[in-house]
Structure 1
Amino acid sequence: MNDERPEKPLPELRASDADRERVVERLRDAVAEGRIDMEEFEERLETAYTSKTYAELEPLTRDLPAPGGPPMPLAAAAPAPVAADGSWASRIGGGGVPASSSAAVAVMSSFQRKGAWTVPPRLDAVAFWGSGDLDLREANFAEREVVINCIAIMGGIQITIPPGVEVDVRGFGFMGAFDQRDTPGAVAPGAPRVVVTGLAFWGGVEVKVKPPKRPKPLGGGPKLRKEL
């Protein structure tokens, strides 16, 4: 007798609690990734917990990528042109410099990334009852397009970018906010593209545009001679 079960469950089979929880977990990820909003999440969540068969569960994640699979392309990125002065050309691709950690987490604490660090292709930033500071003004970029996925729960994350960088803010705020106060202006030739997505729940994510800091002159500059 052959007891093998089909690879894909038959639609009419009854779903288990574990099946429903797997669907709910995928829906939570979809909210954090900015693929569905909170209203749609609540609707699908209610359907998931009341579903009795696979036929009722399957449509809830049909339009979402498989967990652990490759991310869906955000946009077709054109090859990065070389800036006239070579400034961005030397900062994209890392030039052999390994990318920084792909996660920054603050739980009732804080994290900070500033100075000469490398932004990975995808950075997950989480602030839970805490704060985070991501300063990209002097950073290198592992790729021309990077994604910063922010989860701010009763906390805040601030992202500072230099002028000329292309920014795409897609995050969703539920009793919270994704705030882009400044515009980066015209996109500089060869500049990277930063996609900011995620969820702010009773918290906030703020994107600011500031020019890089100017180095201080050695010796503190000329001093006036004191007359006796």
Structure 2
Amino acid sequence: MLSLDEYSERLDVVLAARTRPELDTVIADLPHVRREPAPAAPEVLSSWMSSVSRKGQWTVPPRLRLVTRMCSTTLDFTSAVLQSPVVHIDVDDYFSSTDLVLPDGATADLNGIATVGGSTTVKVATSPPSRTLHVVVAGRVRFGSVTARHPFGTAFKRMLG
């Protein structure tokens, strides 16, 4: 049991907290508090013989699973609302193309993709990982492609200053 004074002090810290570690200090000595957060289940995007498109201000979960068969997928991160600066994407793909459109300054790691008769193309920086957005893609692509790129015209805009 907490005294009223201790409760008030902890409540003040909670209300002023901006990060998870600041909150953890408030509850660290309390009984039956989960110390390790359970890993969140990935959001699943699944499509067969059609297309998947996420553009504009869509909310990007920290983990995403793409299950695609003979379709076209576009994930545009340029205006997306990120829940985490690192986004992990697990791909399970047959005969499809996946296009990842990343904002300027974002990085991507496609080294975890195993391809069979397919391709991976990285047209963005790969390291050091960006603090704003770093996309890590892993999984299997069979007779398809995965491309990480900036929006069209980004290089031209950089040249103009």
Q: TM-score range by the shorter chain?
A: 0.5 to 0.7
Shift of 1:186: 8.1
Runs of 4+ in 1 over 3 A off after TM superposition: 184-190
SS in 2 for 1:138: coil
Name the counterpart of 2:124.
Answer: 183
Is 1:157 the equivalent of 2:98? Answer: yes
Report which of the two structures shows the higher radius of gyration computed on alpha carbons.
1
Name the counterpart of 1:121.
Answer: 62
> Structure 1's 190 and 179: CA in aligned 2 closer, same or farther, altered over 3 A?
closer
Name the counterpart of 2:137.
Answer: 196
Shift of 1:150: 1.8
Name the counterpart of 1:172.
Answer: 114
Provide TM-score, normalisation by structure 1. 0.44
More strand by share: 2
Shift of 1:205: 1.1
Provide TM-score, normalisation by structure 2. 0.62
Shift of 1:166: 2.3
Unaligned runs of 5+ in 2: 1-18, 20-41, 155-161
SS in 1 for 2:78: coil
Unaligned runs of 5+ in 1: 1-78, 80-100, 214-228
- State percent identity of aligned pairs: 27
Q: Check the 8 A contact 2:120/2:145 in 1, yes or no.
A: yes
Picking from 88, 91, 108, the partner of 2:49 is: 108
Shift of 1:164: 0.5
> Structure 1's 173 and 185: CA in aligned 2 closer, same or farther, altered over 3 A?
closer
CA RMSD across the alignment = 2.7
> Structure 1's 186 and 196: CA in aligned 2 closer, same or farther, altered over 3 A?
closer
What whole-Å deviation, never above 9, does each CA across 1:174-211 have from its counterpart, x for those lacking one? 1111221x124887974122111111101111111127
Please tell me the residue identity of whatever aligns with 2:56. G
